Amino acid sequence: MTVTITDIQKKKTSGEKITMLTAYDYSMARLIDQARVDMVLVGDSLGMVALGYSSTVPVTMEEMLHHCRAVSRGVRHSFLVGDMPYLSYQVSEEEAVRNAGLFIKTAGCHGVKLEGGSESVPAIEKITRAGIPVMGHIGLTPQTATALGGYSVQGKDVESGRKLVEDAQAVSDAGVFAIVLECIPSPLAALITETVPIPTVGIGAGNHCDGQVLVTNDLLGLYDKFTPGFVKKYADLAPVIRKALSEYVREVEDGGFPDDEHSFRGSDAVMAEIISGMKNG
């Protein structure tokens, strides 16, 4: 049975932690789903992790939908959230609903996520009114990191801290089913978690949130360009993969691969007949 937003809400009520991870392709989606993670996010971190952009800003709707389709084929258990890319929900509420709808109608997602506090309320209201579950995202919002002064911890002074509490309340009132809290001090995340009736899912926001999300490639040690300080690496796969790939190259070059075990022999009699037939014209 697929996890529902009711199951997610129940976890907040019962105090059970909510788990969420990102996925960008079918194979990883299957593994994450098999680990019975509550929610899978096709994040626009796709842009940096899988597409090699220097930020999430260039990611397009087309790219998001393409990867959501691949991930949705691998997910059976988890609630699948598609991340709305930059400028897919800010221009007009009509466009926001149309784009959110594409994640649901054409890409197998169960809900969408969008960034922003009070400024995103009209889009959230319109999308939720169309019957699409929306997840909020406040704190460090990578799509507008430049305007925030870079990729830094948010809400560290009284004014910006209070603004984050107000933003959490505003998106909650607008109808989001959960909120991602990214890179904010742990006591502030605890306060927001106590204040809003919906689940909070933290990333770099301490242990008092109702759940946690990480970029899967970070926790597996696959993305070795940069690892944020809040990431715990549960595996260090980049060196393991590099070693395996170098071994493959060496074995192909020295003729060690493929050996008999990894080759098809066929029937000796049939092969002999083909070979002698060819030789005799």
| Residues binding ligand KIV (CB under 6 A) | 22, 41, 43-45, 83, 137, 180, 203, 213, 215
Choosing from 93, 94, 182, 253, the catalytic residue is 182
Report in angstroms how near the CB of residue 93 gets to ligand KIV at its nearest.
Answer: 22
- Provide, rounded to whole angstroms, the least separation between the CB of residue 255 and ligand KIV: 43
Shortest Cβ 92–ligand KIV spacing (Å):
23
User: For ligand KIV, which is the closer residue by CB, 148 or 257?
Assistant: 148
Query: Which residue has the closest beta carbon to ligand KIV?
Result: 43
Number of Cβ within a 10 Å radius of residue 247: 12
Between 33 and 182, whose beta carbon lies closer to ligand KIV? Answer: 182
CA distances from residue 46 to 59, 63, 146 in whole angstroms, order as listed: 8, 9, 19
| Cα separation, 152 vs 140, whole angstroms | 7
In this structure, the dihedral spanned by the alpha carbons of residues 176, 18, 36 and 65, taken in order and rounded to 10 degrees, is 30
- Nearest residue to 210 via CA among 3, 11, 2: 11
CA dihedral 157, 137, 41, 86 (to 10 degrees): -110
- How far is the C-alpha of 266 from the C-alpha of 230, rounded, in Å? 54
Does the annotation count 182 as an active-site position? yes
| Least gap, CB of 122 to ligand KIV (angstroms) | 21
Q: In terms of CB distance, is 104 or 112 closer to ligand KIV? A: 112
> Between residues 33 and 83, which has the closer beta carbon with respect to ligand KIV?
83
Active site residues: 182
